[in-house]
């Protein structure tokens, strides 16, 4: 059991999502960085499918009345336990009964993931415990956590080993790598030059549905385009020429031309972009992108 003494900016119960419901207009959703949540679950001897917390920019104050085994991955936050000691990232942490865990502001990046041994045992909806804010279902009552909430935890399975995850660099300053989108032919030389040579900034209106960018306008032919299936990472260009990178809770169909798609290996970087961050793009061959998608996090037992 976890008691929420103070809610953060946007604390959401998340697992790896609910794929397979796109025909009903429901995106897969889930954690913005599935590998980070899976690593946190591994650190506390959970299945990778267990639900944890996704914390954005400013975190909560949580109390563990019965204690617990937890792990934090993703962007580092200023974080302390009851004693005032700083919390370590990417390793197994044991909390005594009654201890609190305080997550303050993100020091870099935007999001982190908290796993607790046994997982968060909120009721599954359509096969997933992930919160889907646009429709108000899943997670804890279909919403972000609020002060006074109590989260149930599941029954632990398996022995706990003290582990540490080796985290790859997100290389936030590097360009986002993309492959060509299905409508790239609709963009003229000036539009393509603006897209690949320009620097964009993340707009404050961005959320889990999509990252709205502001920068050089990307011109394209205004031909009619029927709705098409789209996935997280698709870069749409609406009539105003300002790109939108679709997020995890974004629509499953869209009618704007897609100039490019973020490669799978770079999708986790989207979860760490905050308002005002710079975004640039660079092309990559499809086969190279597929090879990079096979990269995985490493888990090692602590000596």
Least confident piece of the model among 56-70, 126-140, 158-172? 158-172
Q: How confident is the model at residue 224 (pLDDT cuts 50, 70, 90)?
A: low
Report in angstroms the alpha-carbon separations of 136 from 30, 123, 250.
14, 14, 14
Cβ proximity of 9 and 61 under 8 Å: no
Tell me the pLDDT tens digit for each residue of 143-161. 999 999 999 999 886 655 5
The number of C-alpha atoms within 13 Å of 295 and in the hemisphere containing its C-beta is 16
Alpha-carbon radius of gyration of the chain: 20
pLDDT of 282 > 50? The answer is: yes
Within 10 angstroms of residue 32's Cβ, the number of other Cβ atoms is 27
From the list 43, 47, 82, 39, the residue with the least C-alpha distance to 61 is 82
pLDDT of 164 > 60? The answer is: no
Distance CA 145, CA 142 (A): 9
pLDDT for the residue numbered 286: 87
Q: How confident is the model at residue 303 (pLDDT cuts 50, 70, 90)?
A: very low
Q: How confident is the model at residue 290 (pLDDT cuts 50, 70, 90)?
A: confident
Q: Which long-range contacts (CB under 8 A, 24 or more apart) does 282-285 make?
A: 282/175, 282/176, 282/177, 282/178, 282/196, 283/177, 283/178, 283/179, 283/180, 283/196, 284/177, 284/178, 284/179, 285/179
Within 10 angstroms of residue 137's Cβ, the number of other Cβ atoms is 15
Structure tokens at 267: 């999708």
pLDDT for the residue numbered 162: 53
Segment 118-124 mean pLDDT? 97
Q: What percent of the chain has pLDDT over 70?
A: 90
Report in angstroms the alpha-carbon separations of 64 from 47, 67, 283.
21, 5, 47
pTM: 0.90
Tell me the pLDDT tens digit for each residue of 226-250. 889 999 999 999 999 999 999 999 9
Tell me the pLDDT tens digit for each residue of 4-48. 999 999 999 999 999 999 999 999 999 999 999 999 999 999 999
pLDDT of 127 > 80? The answer is: yes
Cβ proximity of 93 and 58 under 8 Å: no
Q: How confident is the model at residue 285 (pLDDT cuts 50, 70, 90)?
A: confident
Structure tokens at 263: 């490669």
Distance CA 260, CA 257 (A): 9
Distance CA 52, CA 75 (A): 15
Cβ proximity of 259 and 287 under 8 Å: no
Q: What percent of the chain has pLDDT over 90?
A: 82
Q: Output the CA torsion 172→178→230→142 (10° steps).
A: -10
281-283 and 176-180 strand pairing: parallel
Mean pLDDT of all residues in the chain? 91
DSSP 130-179: --BTTTTBSTBTTB---TT-EE-B----S----EEEEPPP--TTSPEEEE
pLDDT of 223 > 70? The answer is: no
């Amino acid at each position: 059991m976890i008691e929420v003494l103070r809610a953060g900016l946007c604390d959401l119960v998340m697992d790896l999502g609910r794929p397979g419901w796109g025909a009903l207009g429901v995106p897969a959703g889930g954690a913005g960085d599935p590998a980070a949540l899976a690593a946190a679950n591994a650190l506390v001897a959970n299945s990778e499918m267990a639900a944890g917390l996704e914390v954005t920019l400013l975190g909560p104050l949580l109390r563990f009345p019965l204690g617990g085994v937890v792990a934090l991955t993703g962007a580092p936050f200023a974080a302390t336990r009851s004693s005032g000691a700083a919390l370590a990232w990417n390793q197994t942490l044991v909390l005594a009964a009654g201890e609190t865990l305080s997550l303050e502001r993100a020091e870099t990046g935007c999001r982190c993931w908290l796993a607790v041994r046994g997982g968060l045992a909120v009721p599954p909806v359509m096969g997933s415990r992930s919160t889907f804010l646009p429709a108000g279902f899943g997670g804890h009552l279909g919403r972000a956590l609020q002060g006074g909430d109590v989260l149930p935890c599941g029954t632990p399975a398996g022995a706990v080993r003290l582990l540490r995850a080796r985290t790859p660099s997100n290389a936030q300053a590097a360009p986002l790598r993309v492959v060509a989108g299905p409508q790239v032919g609709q963009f003229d030389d000036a539009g393509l030059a603006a897209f690949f040579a320009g620097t964009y900034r993340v707009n404050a209106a961005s959320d889990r549905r999509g990252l709205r960018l502001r920068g050089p306008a990307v011109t394209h032919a205004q031909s009619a385009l029927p709705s098409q299936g789209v996935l997280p990472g698709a870069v749409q260009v609406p009539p105003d020429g300002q790109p939108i990178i679709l997020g995890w809770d974004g629509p499953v169909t869209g009618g704007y031309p897609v100039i490019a798609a973020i490669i799978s290996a770079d999708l986790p970087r989207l979860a760490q972009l905050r308002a005002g961050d710079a975004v640039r793009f660079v092309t990559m061959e499809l086969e190279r992108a597929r090879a990079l998608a096979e990269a995985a996090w490493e888990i090692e037992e602590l000596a």
